[in-house]
């Protein structure tokens, strides 16, 4: 097999044998792949610096019997700074696990890759609340996977605005306060959270972080976004309990 070159972001690294690593890499064209990086845990090895967790590198890969084998890894960016805070690490690990849980191998994943790189950048710069990054990722990634909630208006009466709304996380539709009360549901969104929800799901991806939200609305948005993501995942994420311990 001929070697080929691809950009890729390391989502997970697992030690294998004495100094090898098995990497889970998100690539734009092949989706999530596994690759063996021989001897890459040795500091003197040429693969050492480009194969670590959250490295965005240019990989030269060759197809092996059960997984790809890394021949070269030239690092372009490492998101070291996500580990400046425990909240940052917790969110980054959770987003990475959600990505490799949701992105199947062999499918194009350019949008997922751009979204995750953008989120890791925001976490490492520390300028955006990690809870905002988490909610953006959860809602946007679910929308990209085909679970876009119906956010235009109340499903039952067509109301577009109101102080409070209810998002049904199972069914993905909105109810205004009156229709929610008739249906026996308690509202889980205020107007600020609803605006942010619409922005995150509908705006062009370059502008995805260009919104402001109050702490009160963020608390509502965070709870709804997380619930929405978790009901659409087939299995619980292992990184979730660590995340909750650092970002309750
Ligand atoms: Zn209504």
Distance 188 CA to ligand 1 centre (A): 14
Cα distances (Å, whole numbers) of residue 94 to 89, 178, 236? 8, 36, 11
Edge-to-edge strand ranges of the sheet holding 189-190: 150-154, 173-176, 164-168, 189-190
- Position 110 scores a pLDDT of 93
- Position 248 scores a pLDDT of 87
Distance 218 CA to ligand 1 centre (A): 23
DSSP 8-class letter at 42: S
27 pLDDT tier (thresholds 50, 70, 90)? very high
Q: What's the rounded mean pLDDT across residues 73-95?
A: 95
User: What class is the 4-78 domain?
Assistant: mainly beta
Residue 103 confidence (pLDDT) above 90 = no
Distance 191 CA to ligand 1 centre (A): 14
Distance 91 CA to ligand 1 centre (A): 35
- Position 119 scores a pLDDT of 97
Distance 182 CA to ligand 1 centre (A): 9
Tell me the residue length of the chain: 248
Cα–Cα distance, 7 to 3 (Å, whole number): 14
- Position 39 scores a pLDDT of 96
Distance 88 CA to ligand 1 centre (A): 38
- Position 127 scores a pLDDT of 86
Distance 83 CA to ligand 1 centre (A): 44
Distance 175 CA to ligand 1 centre (A): 5
DSSP 8-class letter at 103: S
Distance 162 CA to ligand 1 centre (A): 9
Token look-up 């700074």 returns: 81
Residue 125 confidence (pLDDT) above 90 = yes
Residue (of 240, 30, 211, 234) closest to 147 by Cα position: 234
Bridge partners, residue 14, by sequence = 22
Cα–Cα distance, 162 to 176 (Å, whole number): 7
Distance 152 CA to ligand 1 centre (A): 12
Per the prediction, the chain carries an average pLDDT of: 95
105 pLDDT tier (thresholds 50, 70, 90)? confident
Residue (of 175, 173, 170) closest to 185 by Cα position: 175
38 pLDDT tier (thresholds 50, 70, 90)? very high
Q: What's the rounded mean pLDDT across residues 18-35?
A: 96
1 pLDDT tier (thresholds 50, 70, 90)? confident
Summarised one tens digit per residue, pLDDT across range 181-216 is: 999 999 999 999 999 999 999 999 999 999 999 999
Residue 169 confidence (pLDDT) above 80 = yes
* Cβ atoms within 10 Å of 143's Cβ, excluding its own: 17
pLDDT more than 90, % of the chain = 92
Distance 166 CA to ligand 1 centre (A): 10
Cα–Cα distance, 223 to 77 (Å, whole number): 32
Distance 223 CA to ligand 1 centre (A): 22
Distance 150 CA to ligand 1 centre (A): 13
- Position 234 scores a pLDDT of 78
- Position 140 scores a pLDDT of 95
Token look-up 């956010």 returns: 151
Distance 224 CA to ligand 1 centre (A): 19
Bridge partners, residue 36, by sequence = 22, 69
Q: What's the rounded mean pLDDT across residues 62-87?
A: 94
- Position 162 scores a pLDDT of 92
Angle between helices 86-102 and 130-144 (to 10 degrees): 10
- Position 245 scores a pLDDT of 96
DSSP string, 151-182: EEEETTT-----SEEEEETTTTEEEEHHHHHH
Domain extent listing, the chain: 4-78, 83-246
Q: What's the rounded mean pLDDT across residues 147-173?
A: 95
Cα–Cα distance, 87 to 239 (Å, whole number): 12
Domain 83-246 CATH (choose: 1.20.1440.120, 1.10.287.110, 3.10.150.10, 3.40.50.300): 1.20.1440.120
């Amino acid at each position: 097999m001929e070697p080929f070159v691809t950009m890729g972001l390391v989502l997970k690294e697992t030690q294998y044998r004495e100094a090898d690593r098995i990497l889970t890499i998100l690539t734009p064209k092949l989706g999530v792949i596994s690759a063996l990086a021989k001897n890459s845990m040795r500091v003197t090895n040429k693969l050492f610096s480009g194969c670590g967790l959250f490295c965005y590198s240019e990989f030269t890969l060759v197809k092996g019997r059960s997984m790809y084998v890394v021949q070269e890894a030239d690092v372009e960016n490492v998101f070291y700074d996500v580990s400046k805070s425990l909240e940052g690490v917790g969110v980054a690990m959770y987003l990475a696990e959600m990505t490799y849980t949701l992105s199947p191998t062999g499918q194009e994943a350019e949008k997922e890759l751009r979204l995750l790189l953008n989120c890791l950048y925001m976490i490492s710069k520390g300028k955006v609340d990690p809870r905002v990054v988490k909610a953006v990722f959860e809602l946007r990634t679910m929308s990209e996977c085909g679970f876009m909630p119906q956010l235009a208006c109340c499903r039952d009466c067509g109301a577009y605005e109101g102080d409070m709304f209810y998002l049904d996380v199972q069914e993905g539709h909105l109810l205004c306060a009156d229709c929610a009360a008739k249906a026996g549901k308690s509202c889980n969104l205020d107007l600020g959270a609803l605006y942010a929800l619409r922005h995150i799901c509908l705006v062009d991806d370059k502008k995805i972080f260009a919104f402001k939200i109050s702490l009160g609305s963020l608390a509502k948005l965070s709870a709804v976004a997380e619930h929405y993501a978790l009901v659409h995942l087939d299995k619980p994420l292992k990184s979730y309990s660590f995340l909750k311990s650092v970002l309750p």
